[in-house]
Structure 1
Amino acid sequence: MGTYEHKRLHHVNQHHALPSLLKPLKLPLYSIASSASFMKSGNNNNNTNASKYNSRYFNRKFKTVLPFLLLVLCIYRTMKVYLTTELNQSLLEMHTLTQHKQSDFNPKSIALDVFNYLIEQQHSLDSRVGTSDGVYFHWDDWVDLSRGDKFLHSARLNSPSGTHCDPKIIEYGSVSGHWLESYKTKVQRGAVNLYCSKDIPEKLIVFTDREMVEIPVIGKRRFGNDKTRPVNSDQLMTKMAQINTSSTEHFKFKFKSTTNLQKQIMIEPEDFIFKPDVEIFALQEKLNNQTITSKELKYLEFLEYSNNHLVDHTDRYFKYAWIYTDVIQGNAHHIAYPFFNRYISDRERQSVLHHMVRVWFQFAEANGFASWINYGSLLGWSFNGVNMPWDTDIDVQMPIAQLDRLGREFNKTLIMENPRFGNARYWLEISPTYIRQGNGRNHIDARFIDIQSGLYIDISALSHTEVPPPTKDSVPDNLSTMLVHCKNWNWHTLDELLPIRHTYFEGASVYIPNKVNRLLTNKYGATALTNYNFHNHNFQSDISIWVSDRICKKPPGDSESRFNRWHELTQRGSCNSRKLKDEYNIVKKSTQRHSDLNQNLDYPMFYDIELVGDLPVMRKDSWDYYYDINNRVVDNYDWYVYKEIIQ
């Protein structure tokens, strides 16, 4: 653990602990000493001496045991405080600031390389990044692996291209993320795993203002020598403008226009049915007839491998970093391994998810995949249109047949956020266990992972199967009420879900299920939408924000004292919290829009998607946030930013 975490431990005051410990221990001592006085008076001197000897013996034994008991108590109380005290958010951010300052990694550098590569390909120029067939890739160019320098320094010297690692180093980085280890060891193993062993992407997707470009990855090769050069956002905007205005006819790559989401989508019921045995039989017929393509053959081999009861016996596919000092609180349990490199503060996590949900739905829409938010994310939306501040991920669902196609077309793809809004890169990985129900260890079918933080979107497939539902009530046998479920046995009828419909979440266009009230009530109970106190937070409806009880447990004063004439929070109105004032500035447009459009959660007001448009990105990119503070670009610690969307 880092030094910053040790500072949060409370010292046990032994002077206060001692009387409370001795009090229960006096009773057996008193009983032993008193037993001699109740012996018969007719006993001889030998019996009296024996009694005195026994008393002295037990006193000596007690004095010997007492320090040990005190030590055990001190250790117990210390460990209890250490394991249950929440991480100090200010210390987390200060620790991250220090890490950023000590690291030379700049995520904008590799983005500039990719943009230069695209421009060079337009003019048929040679590029060190790749060839006309695609780009080279190494995780060392895309992720800050300085946490593993102790092990990787020699690997970089011995193989500058990064294609070889010493077998001992490979072995060190190949330990399962579920091994119970220390924070430092887990962080170092993750870095080594990424450098030496982690699969590289099969393709790279680059988002610009109006398009997404799909670039094949042709091999593993490290550049590294230029990643520390000073690159700023203005340079990337200039390069992106050249790509936006250039003709795509000279490229071998796929260009797809980014489009607005639709008002609603009626998904075909057949998309919720996937029978691997049927798929395998059809592909084997093609193989026997010698009409199978290489892509289909690869798919057949995958299905045969995964359908061979693999998921009935396999371990958890998506690993998290299991750290022994974090077993109770589970701060690392919501960060994907091997991308875990530190604990994430609450506000940084909110920023990462704010950017992530926007990119996921842009990507899915451009490629024709239907998905929607559900469960905790949908509950957050129902209150104010944004994620709940304590939520550690975003829950997304999609039909099983579409997830199968997602896996065939985009498994192990790296997706670059539009640099106008941030520096995020997302690793899309589909678990091979999605084709069967499995043994209960693999509830999640795919993940969309931010590679800098390890935070993610959980993607679950919904299927219609022959498994009977957990209710005795009969369900009419028609398509609209057809029952579907995920691997965690959450059941829905299709009319509850469909048609999925457009809304705004975190200011961005997303899809949600059709009947929100029924779904959330079934999942969380009748009071789910009226419980304004939860998870040490209280929902303050006058500002439409979940506020930590540590800041204030109820709105301070009346509305006149809470807002100034520009409807900004006053010092008193923000409970004397700079953080709350900053948070209000970030979410007020999103919460206002949610209030205007969703007075009834199931029947929103009419709006034109193209006219209304997505709201600007309101949370700073996390790397930019820490860079700006360290380099004194800003004079505050606010996360608020205003990045307009280019229509």
Structure 2
Amino acid sequence: MRLLQSILALTLAASSATAVPSESIKRREISARGQRVDTKYFHEPGGDNELGHYDIRYFKQKVPYEEHRPALQHLIRSYLTTFRSLGVETWLAHGTLLGWWWNGRIMPWDYDLDVQVSAQTLYYLGNNLNRTTHEYNYFDPISGKPMKKEYLLDINPHHSEITRGDGQNVIDARWIDLSNGMFIDITGLAERDSHSPGVWSCKNFHKYRTTELYPMRETEFEGVPATIPYSFDYILTDEYGHKSLVTTQWAGHRWEPELKEWIKIPKDDEKKEEDKEQKA
């Protein structure tokens, strides 16, 4: 696995290792009633599925539907180009990998993104790049003017723990948009069971064999170079089922094969589709 390579020229992002003062892990004292200690490092505003996908430290307000996909596009482009420039191996995972399978883009109903790294890479990031900010430069598609955004790479101090523990720290790191709190979840894979060599897993019980992950495949996602696991099709069907690769209507969106895009279904049409399914 590669950790450090000669730095590649960036086309979309420029990284700066500006250290951000570390924050203490929030903990609560165990009360007389025996409440458990809050060991969770990353916190979200909560309340609903959407509010569960912002980092509470940088959250201001919900990003509207029309704006959240472009914000996620900047997130993944900045992350992938920055990691590639640093020679750090990372690959698409979970729903983000599924979006790649359909059309190489983020699915419009997604609120966050998922990537994975090896435990060895995670250790390197924790020791060398934790709490660093990275600048991302791009051109506004409407005005054509140069724009700049800033992102934080934050490594969970619990990342080196082999077991799931109390389940509050299954996310090992995040790439966070400092302007709105949106993030990419980063999880580390390791051979956690000495009795099962060649089986890699995260703290959330997702398991992969070495031959399913490697050799990694080079591709593109949202217009920038990206890496995916070798057996991406098996990994997707194992996690989401075969229907995930053929279902053409989901979460209020319809797949349009001519456009190769998921299109939001108007509310009236969505209601008609639901009524039709109930009568069938």
Using the size of structure 1 for normalisation, the TM-score is 0.35
SS of 1:360 mapped into structure 2: helix
**CA gap 1:451/1:549 in 2 versus in 1, 3 angstroms:** same
1:502: which partner in 2? Answer: 218
What does 1:430-509 align with in structure 2 at a 5 Å threshold? 430-436=155-161, 437=163, 438-466=165-193, 482-509=198-225
- What's the offset of the Cα at 1:434? 0.7
Q: Which runs of 5+ in 1 are unaligned?
A: 1-206, 220-311, 470-476, 555-647
Q: Taking structure 1 as reference, are residues 418 and 530 closer, same or farther at Cα in structure 2, changes over 3 Å only? A: same
Alignment correspondent of 1:375: 94
| Change in 2 beyond 3 A, CA 1:517/1:339 | same
Measured against aligned partners, the alpha-carbon deviations of 1:252-276 in whole angstroms (never above 9, x if no partner) come to: xxxxxxxxxxxxxxxxxxxxxxxxx
Q: Could you say if the C-alpha distance between residues 536 and 440 of structure 1 is closer, same or farther in structure 2, counting changes exceeding 3 Å?
A: same
- The 8 Å contact of residues 313 and 439 in structure 1, kept in 2 or not, is answered as no
Task: Compare the two structures and name the one with the higher helix fraction.
Answer: 1
Unpaired segments ≥5 residues, structure 2 = 1-8, 22-35, 140-145, 271-280
Q: Give the 3 Å change call, closer, same or farther, for CA 515–313 of structure 1 in structure 2.
A: farther
- Which of these two proteins has the greater Rg computed from alpha carbons? 1
Q: What does residue range 105-504 of structure 1 map to in structure 2 within 5 Å?
A: 212=14, 214=16, 315-322=39-46, 327=47, 329-418=48-137, 420=139, 422-436=147-161, 437=163, 438-466=165-193, 482-504=198-220
Distance, in Å, in 1 between the alignment partners of 2:150 and 2:114 is 19
Q: Flag the 1:535–1:209 CA change in 2: closer, same or farther, 3 A.
A: closer
Report the CA distance between 1:491 and its aligned residue. 0.4
Offset, 1:467: 6.9
User: How many matched pairs?
Assistant: 240
Task: State the Cα RMSD in Å.
Answer: 2.5
- Percent sequence identity over aligned pairs: 29
Contact 1:208 1:418 in 2 (8 A): no
C-alpha change, 1:467 and 1:388, in structure 2 (3 Å) is farther
Indicate the SS of the match to 2:71. Answer: helix
Q: How far, CA to CA, are the matches of 2:137 and 2:150 in structure 1?
A: 10
Q: Distance in 1 between matches of 2:258 and 2:58?
A: 39
**Cα displacement (A) at 1:534:** 1.3
SS in 1 for 2:89: coil
Q: Does the alignment pair 1:536 with 2:252?
A: yes
| Offset of residue 314 of structure 1 | 5.3
Cα deviation, 1:568-592, whole Å, max 9, x if unaligned, reads xxxxxxxxxxxxxxxxxxxxxxxxx
How big is the shift at 1:422? 3.0
Structure 1 counterpart of 2:274? none
- Post-superposition offset of 1:208: 6.9
Change (3 A) 1:376 1:447: same
Amino acid at match of 2:266: R
Question: Which residue in the other structure is 2:33 paired with?
Answer: none
For 1:345 and 1:218, locate their aligned partners in 2 and report how far apart those are by CA, in whole Å.
28
Q: Which has the higher contact order (CA 8 A, sep 6+)?
A: 2
Asked if 2 retains the 8 angstrom alpha-carbon contact of 1:538 and 1:553, the reply is no
SS of match in other structure, 1:432: coil
Distance 1:491 1:536, change over 3 A: same
Q: Distance in 2 between matches of 1:218 and 1:460?
A: 21
Determine helix, strand or coil for the equivalent of 2:151: strand
Q: C-alpha distance in 2, partners of 1:521/1:425? A: 35
Residues 56-104 of structure 1, C-alpha deviation per residue, up to 9 Å, x if partnerless?
xxxxxxxxxxxxxxxxxxxxxxxxxxxxxxxxxxxxxxxxxxxxxxxxx
> Partners in 2 of 1:483 and 1:215 — Cα distance?
34
- The answer (yes or no) to whether the contact 1:450–1:456 under 8 Å persists in 2 is yes
**TM-score between the two structures when normalised by the length of structure 2:** 0.78
